[in-house]
Amino acid sequence: MTDHRFQDKRMDKRSQVFISKKMSYALRHNPAKYGLTLDKYGYVDLHQFLAAMNRVHHFHPRLTEMTIREIMHGAKKQRFKIKNGQICALYGHSIPGIIKHPEKVPPAVLYHGTARRFLPSIWQKGLLPMGRQYVHLSADQATARQVGQRRDQKPAILVVDAAAASRDGIKFYYANDQVWLVDQLPAKYLRLLSASR
């Protein structure tokens, strides 16, 4: 019986993913739909956020800070941050009005996982933010592979010479230990690690 009750209290993975996607949508792409305005760092008051999420999605049981913390704790990726009673998405924004991230000296090498079909354009134009505010880079190859696999079973992994780019004045922004951001990145700082393994 104890086991049963314990299971009932735990949210299933599908609900966690569902809520997490709605949170990403609100905090990265469309806060206005929720009547929310993000500050320049992407933060919004947590209570306002919870009220807005519950108003729009009618979550049962109601979404609470505890649930959000549970989702954040259980996720492989650190997508959100709660600080001083506020919440933000750490990366991924597409809203107009650029979100500021802390500028930081990057590790010497970063990675970018992408679809093989994008390579000709990337070699020509470099990495561009496309639909988002920034280009997203990964701290390690495994993460880059996972990112690329969203679009290609055998993704291309690009090695980014972050040391050289940084020396040349390109600014790097820190999102979390796995995700770094840049405004864009010329192809001369990129080389292919593997295209079709």
Which residue in the set 15, 30, 64, 121 belongs to the binding site for ligand HQG (CB under 6 A)? 121
Which residue in the set 151, 154, 171, 191 belongs to the binding site for ligand HQG (CB under 6 A)? 151
Stretch of 9-17, 53-61, 120-128, 165-173 contacting ligand HQG, by CB under 6 A: 120-128
DSSP string covering the chain: -HHHHHHHHSPPHHHHHHHHHHHHIIIII-GGGGT----TTS-EEHHHHHHHHHHHH--SSPP-HHHHHHHHHH-SS--EEEETTEEEESS---SSSPPP--B-PPPSEEEEEE-GGGHHHHHHH-B--TTSSSEEEESSHHHHHHHHTTT-SS-EEEEEEHHHHHHTT---EE-SSSEEEES-B-GGGEEEEES--
Which residue in the set 18, 59, 118, 174 belongs to the binding site for ligand HQG (CB under 6 A)? 118
Residue 99 touching ligand HQG (CB under 6 A): no
Residue 81 touching ligand HQG (CB under 6 A): no
Residue 125 touching ligand HQG (CB under 6 A): yes
Which residue in the set 26, 136, 160, 165 belongs to the binding site for ligand HQG (CB under 6 A)? 136
Residue 179 touching ligand HQG (CB under 6 A): yes
Contacting positions for ligand HQG (CB under 6 A): 77, 79, 92, 114-115, 118, 121-122, 125, 127-128, 130-132, 136, 147, 151, 179
